[in-house]
């Protein structure tokens, strides 16, 4: 049922014109031939109970503080136009049933699924994509990244009728990247934002967007909409129902099976674990080595009420580790940054604290992007002698009475390392003790949850322990282009940039030649490695859970790109379901003392 992708002409189209005419010689493509990954045995119903460590500071998906919290539910995991199949990586329909590429390497045409609706019942139309462009270009959303992307990457959205439109890229892209980028666009509900009460600049967006919409929930195209908010306590997402438009798409069948997802604030993970083992939460992440190896052998596990799952994936990982803020005193010195890089013992942390379960990230800018990843990158090994040499070259050539290096002014070599959760305290404490071997003092600064991310985006940190997400094709502009440096509310966590790097990043961003783009990407990665602004951290190529036996999974639980089996921080594949009969059976057994065989499932299909 796949259709061949062929070039077509643009002669019949006048971009930007309201009366644009759809070319008649387009070769439309679709793909209904990939395997489904929901289970036909799945049952609908029930409430999945999860937790979060802090309440989100906003329900907006853009603007200040929107890059954390519930953003995944509100935007990132909502349907785009087309998407890669999580196993075969072929393009499959989401909101668009068909698509066609023009011969200009800029334009993609889309035909929307006529059944697609917003959660408030309004149809999804081409107008929502036309509005999307206006929305993301507005200065009122206070989001420089989106302003830049939708001005420099997307030139126009052209409506032909309610279900048919074209997206034109600002610059030429190869066909794969063109469909990947334009197909990932998500609509914004034009009817929801229509007729703003205050719009003095006339851009169609509320002038006080950030404040006005801070805790207003917009309609969604997802299976789940935000139905209830208990501020500071919990949020509940509710399923749209059996008539959700997505079930007209075979790839959504037998997915998103629970009626509700309730996420409660539990600020301490140890307390959350106790709630889980009492049956108040349905699953609990066991990614942490001590949880999997030492703390998941309590009575509910031994009695078979709670089961364990370890599944490997091949999901790309983003930039991260320890980010150094070059705008802070001393950190603008390459020798200081080089010394810190050799003084931070991630390998020792992995071996001693993480039981060897994690893997060292070889590249500070990310890993697993195929041909885009620098092939020979290796993370620097812990080397106190090399660190000491670099520190001495920066003037810290004396050792104080406490073992910490000082310079001629008596200034101690000391930096704060900011991190977001008490779970990481043993890891950071290990790093601190090892760093002392090089005469470096690291002060631990724990800032809870989303507040930490805000603190780092405001560039108040010295060092930050942080990992970022990524896309299939890595991006560098938000992290390393000078337009984002030394500004609050951007992802330039290092504040590092150079004119040469700026030039390469812009050329990489819009390059049509795949080989040249790959080469530029490798050069950018090498430049960042040589700048010593991020100490490469670790990566976790798997998911691990404890889950009550009433939660069920497909026969093939993992896909190549599975990020989460159960909902929590993100919705995940949505292939799990609640078996109400087994839940009743389990609750009855717990009262009577009946037990079941312990179960540990390991899916190593995608183990590297």
Q: Is the dihedral of CA 485, 487, 490, 493 positive or negative?
A: positive
Q: For the domain 320-537, what is the CATH superfamily, name and number?
A: Dipeptide-binding Protein; Domain 3 (3.10.105.10)
CB 280 within 8 A of CB 48: no
CA nearest neighbour of 380 among 512, 527, 530, 263: 530
Written as six digits, the tokens of 198 are 């205050």
DSSP-based three-state secondary structure for 80: coil
Give the burial class of 526: count Cβ atoms within 10 A of its Cβ; 0-12 exposed, 13-18 middle, 19 or more buried.
middle
**Beta strands 234-239; 82-84: pairing state:** unpaired
pLDDT band at residue 514 under the 50/70/90 scheme: confident
- For residues 250, 254, 255, 261, the Cα torsion angle rounded to the nearest 10 degrees is 140
CA nearest neighbour of 486 among 514, 467, 460: 460
pLDDT band at residue 449 under the 50/70/90 scheme: confident
CB 199 within 8 A of CB 206: yes
CB 547 within 8 A of CB 586: no
Element (DSSP H or E) covering residue 342? helix 334-343
Phi, psi of 451 (to 5 degrees): -65, -35
What is the arithmetic mean of pLDDT over 478-488? 97
> Mean pLDDT for the chain?
94
pLDDT band at residue 298 under the 50/70/90 scheme: very high
Whether 425 shows a pLDDT value over 50: the answer reads: yes
Alpha helix (H) ranges present in 121-246? 126-137, 144-152, 175-183, 190-193, 209-212
pLDDT band at residue 16 under the 50/70/90 scheme: very low
- What is residue 555's predicted lDDT score, i.e. its pLDDT? 96
- What is residue 233's predicted lDDT score, i.e. its pLDDT? 97
Cα angle, residue 184 at apex, residues 182 and 186 outer, rounded to 5° = 105
- What is residue 299's predicted lDDT score, i.e. its pLDDT? 97
On the question of a common fold for 1-30+78-213 and 320-537, the answer reads no
Cα angle, residue 52 at apex, residues 51 and 53 outer, rounded to 5° = 130
pLDDT band at residue 513 under the 50/70/90 scheme: confident
- What is residue 10's predicted lDDT score, i.e. its pLDDT? 34
The yes/no answer on whether domain 1-30+78-213 falls in CATH 3.90.76.10 is yes
- What is residue 607's predicted lDDT score, i.e. its pLDDT? 84
CB 16 within 8 A of CB 156: yes
- What is residue 608's predicted lDDT score, i.e. its pLDDT? 74
- What is residue 91's predicted lDDT score, i.e. its pLDDT? 97
Please give the CATH number for the structural domain made up of 224-314+541-603: 3.40.190.10
- What is residue 8's predicted lDDT score, i.e. its pLDDT? 36
d(CA 45, CA 561): 26
d(CA 61, CA 132): 13
Q: How many C-alpha atoms does 526 have within 13 Å on its Cβ side?
A: 11
CB 340 within 8 A of CB 396: no
- What is residue 297's predicted lDDT score, i.e. its pLDDT? 95
Written as six digits, the tokens of 157 are 């959205």
- What is residue 372's predicted lDDT score, i.e. its pLDDT? 92
Which H, E and C letters describe 212-260, residue by residue?
A: HCCCCCCCCCCCEEEEEEECCCEEEEEECCCCCHHHHCHHHCCCCCCCE
Whether 512 shows a pLDDT value over 90: the answer reads: no
- What is residue 11's predicted lDDT score, i.e. its pLDDT? 34
What is the arithmetic mean of pLDDT over 511-516? 86
Longest C-alpha distance within the chain, in Å?
81
Q: Strands across the sheet with 224-230, in order?
A: 47-52, 260-265, 234-239, 224-230
pLDDT band at residue 286 under the 50/70/90 scheme: very high
Torsion region of 419: left, alpha or beta (phi above 0 gives left; psi -120 to 50 gives alpha): beta
Whether 1 shows a pLDDT value over 60: the answer reads: no
What is the arithmetic mean of pLDDT over 13-39? 81
Q: Per residue in 524-541, pLDDT tens?
A: 999 999 999 999 999 999
Does the model's pTM come out above 0.85? no
CB atoms within 10 A of CB 202: 7
Q: Per residue in 596-605, pLDDT tens?
A: 999 999 999 9
- What is residue 3's predicted lDDT score, i.e. its pLDDT? 40
Beta strands in 384-539 (DSSP E): 398-399, 405-406, 414-419, 441-446, 463-467, 534-536, 538-539
What is the arithmetic mean of pLDDT over 119-125? 98
What is the arithmetic mean of pLDDT over 103-108? 94
What is the arithmetic mean of pLDDT over 199-206? 96
CB 48 within 8 A of CB 566: yes
DSSP-based three-state secondary structure for 454: helix
- Residues 6 or more apart whose CB falls under 8 angstroms from that of 538 comprise 321, 346, 349, 350, 354, 358, 359, 360, 361
What is the arithmetic mean of pLDDT over 82-95? 96
d(CA 385, CA 391): 10
Q: Which DSSP letter does residue 46 get? A: -
DSSP-based three-state secondary structure for 550: coil
Q: What percentage of the chain exceeds 90 in pLDDT?
A: 89
Whether 317 shows a pLDDT value over 90: the answer reads: yes
Segments making up each domain of the chain, as ranges: 1-30+78-213, 224-314+541-603, 320-537
pLDDT band at residue 67 under the 50/70/90 scheme: confident
CA nearest neighbour of 449 among 78, 70, 61, 62: 70
Whether 544 shows a pLDDT value over 70: the answer reads: yes
pLDDT band at residue 12 under the 50/70/90 scheme: very low
What is the arithmetic mean of pLDDT over 226-240? 97
Q: Per residue in 129-181, pLDDT tens?
A: 999 999 999 999 999 989 999 999 999 999 999 999 999 999 888 888 899 99
d(CA 361, CA 536): 6
Q: For residue 181, how far is the Cα from the chain centroid?
A: 16
Place of tokens 């006080």: 208
Nearest-Å Rg of the Cα atoms of the chain is 25
Whether 4 shows a pLDDT value over 60: the answer reads: no
- What is residue 6's predicted lDDT score, i.e. its pLDDT? 35
């Amino acid at each position: 049922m796949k259709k061949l992708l062929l070039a077509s002409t643009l002669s019949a189209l006048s971009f930007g014109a309201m009366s644009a005419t759809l070319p008649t010689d387009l070769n439309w493509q679709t793909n209904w031939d990939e395997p489904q990954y929901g289970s036909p045995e799945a049952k609908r119903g029930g409430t999945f109970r999860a937790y979060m460590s802090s309440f989100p500071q906003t329900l907006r998906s853009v603007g200040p503080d929107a890059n954390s919290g519930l953003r995944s539910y509100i935007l990132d995991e909502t349907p785009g136009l087309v998407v890669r199949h999580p196993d075969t990586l072929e393009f499959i329909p989401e909101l668009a049933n068909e698509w066609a590429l023009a011969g200009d390497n800029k334009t993609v045409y889309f035909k929307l699924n006529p059944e697609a609706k917003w959660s408030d019942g309004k149809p999804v139309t081409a107008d929502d994509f036309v509005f999307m462009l206006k929305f993301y270009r507005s200065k009122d959303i206070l989001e420089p990244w989106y302003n830049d992307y939708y001005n420099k990457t997307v030139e126009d959205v052209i409506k032909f009728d309610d279900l048919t439109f074209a997206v034109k890229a600002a610059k030429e892209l190869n066909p794969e990247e063109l469909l990947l980028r334009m197909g990932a666009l998500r609509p914004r509900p034009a009817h929801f934002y229509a007729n703003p009460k205050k719009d003095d600049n006339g851009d169609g967006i509320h002038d006080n967007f950030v404040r006005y919409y801070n805790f207003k929930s917009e309609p969604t195209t997802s299976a789940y909409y935000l139905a209830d908010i208990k501020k500071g306590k919990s949020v509940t997402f509710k399923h749209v129902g059996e008539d959700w438009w997505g079930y007209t798409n075979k790839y959504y069948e037998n997915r998103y099976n629970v009626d509700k997802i309730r996420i409660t604030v539990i600020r301490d993970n140890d307390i959350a674990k106790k709630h889980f083992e009492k049956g108040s939460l349905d699953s609990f992440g066991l990614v942490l080595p001590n949880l999997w190896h030492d703390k998941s052998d309590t009575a509910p596990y031994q009695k078979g009420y709670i089961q364990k799952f370890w599944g490997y994936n091949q999901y790309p990982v983003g930039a991260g580790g320890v980010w150094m803020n070059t705008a802070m005193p001393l950190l603008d010195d390459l020798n200081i940054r080089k010394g810190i890089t050799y003084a931070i013992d991630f390998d020792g942390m992995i071996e001693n604290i993480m039981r060897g379960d994690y893997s060292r990230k070889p590249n500070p800018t990310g890993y697993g992007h195929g041909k885009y990843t620098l092939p020979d990158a290796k993370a620097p090994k812990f080397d106190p002698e090399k660190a000491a040499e670099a520190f001495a070259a920066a003037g810290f050539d004396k050792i104080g009475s406490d073992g910490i290096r000082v310079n001629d002014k008596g200034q101690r070599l000391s930096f704060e390392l900011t991190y977001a959760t008490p779970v990481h305290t043993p890891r950071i404490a290990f790093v601190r003790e090892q760093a002392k071997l090089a005469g470096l003092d690291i002060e631990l600064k724990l800032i809870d949850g989303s507040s930490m991310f805000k603190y780092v985006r405001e560039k108040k940190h010295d060092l930050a322990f942080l990992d970022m997400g990524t896309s299939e094709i890595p991006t560098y502009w938000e992290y390393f282009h000078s337009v984002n440096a030394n500004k609050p509310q951007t992802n330039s966590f290092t504040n590092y940039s150079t004119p040469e790097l700026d030039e390469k990043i812009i050329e990489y961003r819009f390059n049509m030649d795949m080989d040249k783009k790959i080469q530029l990407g490798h050069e950018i990665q090498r430049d960042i490695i040589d700048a010593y602004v991020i100490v490469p951290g670790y990566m976790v190529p798997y998911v691990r859970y404890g889950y009550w036996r009433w939660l069920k999974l497909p026969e093939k639980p993992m896909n190549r790109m599975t990020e989460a089996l159960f909902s929590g921080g993100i919705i995940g594949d949505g292939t799990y379901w609640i078996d109400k009969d087994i839940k009743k059976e389990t609750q009855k057994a717990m009262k009577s003392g009946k037990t079941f065989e312990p179960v540990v499932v390991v899916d190593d299909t995608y183990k590297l």
